[in-house]
Amino acid sequence: MIKANEAVQIARDQMHAWFGDELHALELEEVEISEDKRAWLVTLGYSVKRSNPTASELMSAPVGAIPDSIRAYKLFTIDAESGEVRSMKSPKS
């Protein structure tokens, strides 16, 4: 069985392989073993450049209050025995 830190590294490596230079401020958000202990669930967060704010956002926000990036998250399911990535999903908010 792989350890939690190995599962996290596998998830990070996959993020870099798939998204490369698009990644900014990649951080571990959560890691846990599934109830049946067959998979590691690893959530990574990263910053994504925002597109132009909407007119309503500009009108309602104080000056300088609209960030230029937002956080996005990916949830990896990693086989606890083999270390194989089983899935990568965007968690539901």
Q: Is the pTM of this model over 0.85?
A: no
Give residue 82's identity as a one-letter amino acid code.
Answer: S
The whole-number average pLDDT for the span 57-76 is: 74
The whole-number average pLDDT for the span 81-93 is: 92
Catalogue all structural domains in the chain, each as residue range(s) with its CATH number.
Answer: 4-89 (3.10.450)
pLDDT tens for each residue of 24-40? 899 999 999 999 999 99
Strand (E) or helix (H) holding 29: strand 24-33
CB 19 within 8 A of CB 74: no
Give residue 50's identity as a one-letter amino acid code.
Answer: R
| Cβ density class 1-20: b for 16+ within 10 Å, e for less | ebeeeebbebbbebbeeeee
